[in-house]
Chains A and B, each alone.
Chain A
Amino acid sequence: MRARVLIRPKAGILDPQGIAVERALPALGFAGVANVHVGRLVELDVEDEAQLQPMCEKLLANPLVEEYEVQLLDGTTR
């Protein structure tokens, strides 16, 4: 099973990368942009999809400061 893990800074934690991008966009003429956040994307093939959540908790994300979202590439999200 192909899976995609989206990892982003937890809400409320200062995200300087998001702020930098948010400030850069208007300078290029893109108006009306807000709440930009920059995270990471991990794509992987797994035999046992039940392992995805413990993988995220243990290594792929740091749950203290990041939230994650697992997408199975058959179109479902968990």
Chain B
Amino acid sequence: MKFGVLQFPGSCDEVDALEAARRVGDAELLWHGERDLKGADAIIVPGGFSYGDYLRAGAIARFSPVMEAVIEFVRDGGLVLGICNGFQVLCEAHLLPGALLPNEHLRFTFRQVELEVVNSDSAFTRAIGSDRSGEGDGARTSEPTLLSIPAKHSWGRYHADESTLDELERGGQVVLRYAPGENFNGSLRDIAGVQNAAGNVFGLMPHPEHAVEELTGSTDGLRIFESMRLTVEGTRA
């Protein structure tokens, strides 16, 4: 399968996303000014500071030509992953509910975070399994599966109104939560990652593409890319 990784002026994590995607499939960069997704089976909207974060993070990138193609791709059921600034862009484009606001403490923060997998049946989490929660025999335990992934941002406080939050929780759209004590940005209900109602668009503030190599402490992020590969290949079969 092939991943398309968007590149905006001001993106800075597109190369790590490209390298992470290449561990599970083919991947190619897609420049923001183009409308052609070049046959990609899944799209990654990477982290960084698209258009300098002018006005609001993600506000201007949303109107780039490539995003028109992405919106159409989503409508046709295509898989889209938004990481950090990519999550902000997807919210601004109304492909995901809610908004990202400045961190509660107003500081840019870069740290490893523990995340609870709330929905392990999603198109983006199905390869995660439950091995880190202990027994590894597939039995459902009360212990949630945890992922250890770095986060680095100053605009990561997830916000949506109460009724939207209730709806997200009911519909399994809250995919990842910060584990107790890990919610450093003040996100409502500890939400770290959400998907749309159709389940084909997922955004998260932490960076799975920076957690794909033992050398840097964790390979947990790789399982999100692996999940996407399984989903794409499953729908194709």
Contact = CB atoms under 8 A, between A and B. Distances in A.
B140 interface: no
Interface string A52-77: 00000001101011000000000000
Contact of A17 (B63, B106, B159): B106
A65 B102 CA distance: 12
A16 B103 contact: yes
Contacts, number: 34
B103 A64 contact: no
B99 interface: yes
A36 interface: no
A17 B55 contact: no
Nearest to B104: A16
A59 B104 contact: no
A59 B160 CA distance: 18
Size bracket, chain A contacts: 10 to 19
A14 interface: yes
B89 to A, nearest CB: 12
A40 B53 CA distance: 14
Given A20-B106, A65-B159, A13 B101 contact: yes
A64 B98 contact: yes
Nearest to B103: A16
Nearest to A64: B99
A9 B159 CA distance: 12
B153 to A, nearest CB: 14
Nearest to B56: A62
Interface in B60-83: 60, 63
A17 B99 contact: no
A43 to B, nearest CB: 14
Interface in A16-74: 16-17, 20, 40, 59-60, 62, 64-65
B102 A17 contact: yes
B92 interface: yes
19 contacts: A9-B101, A13-B101, A13-B159, A14-B101, A14-B104, A14-B186, A16-B102, A16-B103, A16-B104, A17-B102, A59-B60, A60-B55, A62-B59, A62-B92, A62-B99, A64-B99, A64-B160, A64-B161, A65-B99
Interface of B: 55-56, 59-60, 63, 92, 98-99, 101-106, 157, 159-161, 186
Given A59-B60, A64-B159, A64-B161, 14 more contacts: A9-B101, A14-B157, A16-B102, A16-B103, A16-B104, A16-B106, A17-B102, A17-B106, A20-B106, A60-B55, A62-B56, A62-B59, A64-B99, A65-B101
